[in-house]
Structure 1
Amino acid sequence: MAHKIKIEENAYLNVEDIGEGQPVVFLHGWPANNKMFEYQAQHVVENGYRYIGIDHRGFGLSDTTASGYDYNSIADDIQKVITELKLKNYIIVGFSVGGALSLKYASKYNNPNLQKMILLGPAGPSFVQRDDYPYGMKANEVTDLVNAISDDHPKAITDFGEVFFSSNTNVSNAYKDYFNRLTLTSSLIGTVKLAESLRDEDLRKDVNTIDLPVYGIHGTDDAVCPIQFSEELEKTMPNYQLTRVSDAGHALFFEKKQKINDLLIEFLAK
């Protein structure tokens, strides 16, 4: 079933709720929506878990708002879903910016009902290069991407998709076309503003406050969120456990879906 969760006056999130058992909350990447996890949703439900897939504001079937795309506001959105659905003993799975949002949420709320997190190619602690942090894109490169999206949304996202998949995996053109269409269902406002948040947010202080098991799964060929992101998290978070997936790009959820699905069930059960 799908829930409509109110986040502000006349604005609602779309939340997919499938199966029974321990709830697993999935946070999607930019600029997709929760449907990107359909292979993971099928697998966790078949293994006795409850899939909770949130479309962030401005993405998927959620409403588009004029503002509220900073990490702090989206963490509040996530908590509203947790509260509305009365989730207990839940687990969060976050991909890319969803991984960064997972970290922000855990740091801000420190919810005792959050048991653990699993991060797939997380876009944190910072998506862009900073002082003492030479990894990822440069801030001005993200600004150029934002300007390109504002000028020609389909072309900019299609061009960006060229680095999404690893050349070492055999992903069909049909799936690449499908995923590209999926991302283009997102609003222009949401796509631009969340990209700006990726550029501007820095979680290096936030992650030091997180005291729960965090399992990182990262592709060694990730050209969007380099594996150094997870290696930095491993250095600074005592409970961060990194699993490297060889020959996987940023789209490891599809490129290596059997491996990822097996790891998900392994970590969910720990």
Structure 2
Amino acid sequence: MKKAFYFLLTKTIGFYINLMSFAFPEKATQLAHGYFSEPRKGKLTKDKLPKTLKGAHPETILHNEDTIQTYIWKGNETIVLLIHGWESNSSRWKKMLPYLKKSGSTIIAIDGPAQGLSSGKEFTVTKYAEFMDIVVKKYQPNYIIGHSLGGKASLYYQYKYQNPGIQKMVILGAPSDFNIILNNFVRLLSLNNKVAKALKNKYTVMLNHNLDLFTAKEFASKIDVKGFLAHDIDDIVVLFKEGKKIAGSWKNVQFMETKGLGHKLHDDELYNKVYVFLFENLTPTLSKGEGAESK
């Protein structure tokens, strides 16, 4: 029943946008862009924070018109920055946090644009990278861990800013090609060629980039940071071949293929390997079942 309703809803929205495109093409393009870039889930309120985030020290960064929410678990001078994905927020790290805390490191999570307690209506890779740059300048992390679209944003950040302070990166279940995401959206709503072409033109200008090259594969090929990349062969949200593309272009990366974890990639064995990758001289002490409850 839910699938039938969702199918009907998406096709109705697409039909309305297509119809509008003949009389008001600019409004139709903007409406389509809104559905493409505005998350429907992942926002938080201060009075109903998840338990995971209540245990952190919150810090809000104001930059121009942006409000960027961070959560800090204080530790030693080694700093790990966590970058969540689409329609999510910093609470998605609750399963991994126990492993990172065992290292004694300071852990900082950021709510992405239009997510969690951060401001904005649009969630884009470029805007997320801007948020990251502001946070990185303030806290100067050594390591970055990104999941899903947050993983792609992390690679784009390092590609654009070439930050020498970033020593290692962990990328989990990240998409590569922008055009695949956009084409899937066009098919989902059954948008006509006029709207599809207008969207591509809009994003070419907005991203100031050839869309065929706005890929995590391209970003990874231009960075020298040591990486750990994991992707599940059963991921139906971001297909496994996307992870293979990134792994094939990253000069210095360990690639872990998982099975049965899906897109969320919550797993004790995986987190142990991430721990070893980041903290080679330390030994993880958590065993299966000691981590926090999966989201």
By how many angstroms is 1:144 displaced?
5.3
Hey, which bits of structure 1, 4+ residues long, moved more than 4 A? 144-147
Whether 1:261 aligns to 2:271 is: yes
Equivalences for residues 206-245 of structure 1 within 5 A: 206-245=219-258
- Report the TM-score, using the length of structure 2 for normalisation: 0.63
Pair 207,146 (structure 1): closer, same or farther in 2 beyond 3 Å:
farther
Residue pair 2:238, 2:263 contacting (<8 A) in 1 also: yes
Over residues 186-207 of structure 1, what are the superposed CA-to-partner deviations in whole Å (9 max), with x where a residue is unaligned? xxxxxxx9xx99xx64344332
| Counterpart position of 1:143 | 186
Pair 146,19 (structure 1): closer, same or farther in 2 beyond 3 Å:
farther
Over residues 208-240 of structure 1, what are the superposed CA-to-partner deviations in whole Å (9 max), with x where a residue is unaligned? 211111110111211111121121112212112
Aligned-partner Cα distance in 1 for 2:218–2:245:
12
| Counterpart position of 2:68 | 13
Whether 1:74 aligns to 2:117 is: no
| Counterpart position of 1:161 | none
Pair 39,19 (structure 1): closer, same or farther in 2 beyond 3 Å:
farther
In structure 1, the gaps of 5 or more residues are 130-136, 148-192
Residue pair 2:232, 2:265 contacting (<8 A) in 1 also: yes
The DSSP-based 3-state class of the residue aligned with 1:233 is helix
By how many angstroms is 1:8 displaced?
2.5
| Counterpart position of 1:156 | none
Over residues 82-141 of structure 1, what are the superposed CA-to-partner deviations in whole Å (9 max), with x where a residue is unaligned? 1122x25x10000000110011011011111100100111122x1543xxxxxxx6x343
Pair 259,128 (structure 1): closer, same or farther in 2 beyond 3 Å:
farther
| Counterpart position of 1:112 | 164
Residue pair 1:15, 1:54 contacting (<8 A) in 2 also: yes
Higher relative contact order (CA 8 A, sep 6+): 1
Over residues 50-95 of structure 1, what are the superposed CA-to-partner deviations in whole Å (9 max), with x where a residue is unaligned? 2111001110111225x5x43223212101011122x25x100000
Pair 144,13 (structure 1): closer, same or farther in 2 beyond 3 Å:
farther
The DSSP-based 3-state class of the residue aligned with 1:17 is strand
Paired letter, 1:262: N
Identity over the aligned pairs, expressed in percent?
Answer: 24
Equivalences for residues 144-183 of structure 1 within 5 A: 145=188
Whether 1:96 aligns to 2:158 is: no
Aligned length: 205
The DSSP-based 3-state class of the residue aligned with 2:95 is helix
| Counterpart position of 1:31 | 87
Per mean C-alpha deviation after superposition, the further-off stretch among 104-113 and 236-245 is 236-245
Alpha-carbon RMSD across the aligned residues, in angstroms, is 2.5
Residue pair 1:5, 1:84 contacting (<8 A) in 2 also: no
Aligned-partner Cα distance in 2 for 1:5–1:145:
36
- Report the TM-score, using the length of structure 1 for normalisation: 0.69
